[in-house]
Amino acid sequence: MIPPIASRFVAGETAPEALEHAREANERGLGVILNLLGEHYHERGPADEDAATYCELIDDIADAGLRACVSVKPSQLGLDVGEDVFRENLASVVERADEHDEFVWIDMEDHTTTDATLDAFEHHARETGGSVGICVQANLRRTREDLERLADLPGKVRLVKGAYDPPAEVAYREKSRVNREYRDLLAFMFREFDDGVAVGSHDPGMIDLAADLHGEYGTPYEVQMLMGVREDAQVDLADDCEVWQYAPYGSKWLSYFYRRVLERKENLTFALRAVVSG
Ligand code: FAD
C-alpha cells in the first residue's frame, strides 16, 4: 500500500484506486489524466504489459463513465527497445481509446526521443481526426518549429517548461529564458491552434497569461496540473476554465514520489512534516 505521505502525489497502486481517485476529482470539477507509472523498459515484455494495462484502464474509464483519459510515455511503450515496438503498442492503446471515444495523451521524454514521438503523434492525429494529444517542451530550441508543424494537425498540444535536463546545444538552460519562451510559444498557440491549447503548468503567471490570450483570440484551452500540486488552485480554477489533473498511479510510485519531493522546498517540508507527525 502507498503510505499516506506519498498518496498526495500518487493515485494508488492499482487501477481501482486510480479510478476511485478520478471519480472523486470529477466530483470536485476536475478531469483526470491517468498515467501508469513506468518508463525506460529495455525489453519488450513490460512494454507490452503496460500497453495491455492501458487498454483495460480505458475500458474501465468508459464503463465507469468518468471524465478521464490516459497519458502514456514513449519509453514505457517500448521506444528504447525499438521505434516499431513503441508504434505497435501506441496503436493498440489509441485504437482501444477510439472505440470508446476517449483521448490519449503522449508525454514527451528527453530530447533524443522528440522526433520519434512527434512522428507517432502525427500518424495517430491524422488517423483518429484528433483524439490524441502530445506534450512539447518550451526549453527546447526546436519547439518553435515543431509547433508550426503541429498547428496544421488535428489533436491537442500540451505546452510544458520541460522536466529533463538537455544540453545547451539543444535547449535554453536559464529559467528566465525558458519562461520567456513559454510565454511566446503560448501566444503562438493561442493564435494558430484551432483545436485548443493545453497549459501544462502550475505557474500562476502562465495561467493568467492563458486566460488573457483566451480573451483576445477566443481559442479554447485547458489547464493541466499534477496531482498534489496547488490542488486548491486546481479546484478554484475549474470555475473559470477546464482543468485536468494529471494523476500517476501504479506499483512503481517510489521514484516518482522522490522526484516531486526533491523538486520544491514546499514539497520537502510537507514530506518532513508528515514523517515527524507520524
Ligand atoms: P515552475 O517554473 O516549476 O514553477 C513556477 C511557479 O509555479 C512557482 O513559482 C510557483 O508559483 C508555482 N508552483 C510550481 N510548483 C509548485 C508547488 N509544488 N507548490 C506551489 N506552487 C508551485 N515535462 C516534460 O518534460 N514532459 C511531459 O510530458 C510533461 N508532462 C507534464 C504534464 C503536466 C500536467 C504538468 C503539470 C507538467 C508536466 N511536465 C512534463 C513537467 C513540466 O515540464 C515542468 O517540469 C513542471 O510542470 C514544473 O514547471 P511549472 O510550469 O509548473 O513551473
Q: Model confidence over 71-127: pLDDT tens digits? A: 999 999 999 999 999 999 999 999 999 999 999 999 999 999 999 999 999 999 999
pLDDT above 70: residue 253: yes
Closest-CA residue, ligand 1 atom 31, reads: 200
3-state helix, strand, coil in the chain (%, to 5): 50, 15, 35
Q: Is the CB of 201 under 6 A from ligand 1?
A: yes
- Predicted confidence at residue 271, as pLDDT, reads 61
Domains, the chain, ranges and CATH?
Answer: 15-252 (3.20.20.220)
- Residue whose CA is at the smallest distance from ligand 1 atom 21: 230
**Could you tell me if 73 and 80 are in contact, meaning their C-beta atoms sit under 8 angstroms apart?**
no
In angstroms, the first-to-last Cα distance of the chain is 16
Q: How does pLDDT run across 20-46, given as a tens digit for each residue?
A: 999 999 999 999 999 999 999 999 999
158 catalytic, yes or no? yes
How many Å lie between the centroid of ligand 1 and the Cα of residue 229? Answer: 9
201 vs 191: CA distance, rounded Å: 19
User: What pLDDT is attached to residue 264?
Assistant: 72
What value does the mean pLDDT take over residues 178-197? 96
pLDDT class of 260 with cuts at 50, 70, 90: confident
Among residues 48, 107, 146, 260, which one is catalytic?
Answer: 107
pTM for this predicted structure: 0.95
Distance between Cα 183 and ligand 1 center (Å): 14
Judge if the beta carbon of residue 245 lies within 6 A of ligand 1: no
Q: Report the relative pairing of strands 132-137 and 104-106 from DSSP bridges.
A: parallel
Task: Let me know: does 98 contact 108? Beta carbons within 8 Å.
Answer: no
The DSSP 8-state label assigned to residue 171 in this structure reads B
Q: Return the best residue to mutate from 105, 160, 186 for the ligand 1 pocket (most ligand atoms within 8 A of CB).
A: 160
165 is catalytic: no
Q: Is the CB of 57 under 6 A from ligand 1?
A: no
Structure confidence at residue 274 (pLDDT): 57
pLDDT for 262 equals 76
Give the residue, by CA position, lying nearest to ligand 1 atom 6: 203
Residues in the chain: 278
φ, ψ for residue 132, nearest 5 deg: -130, 155
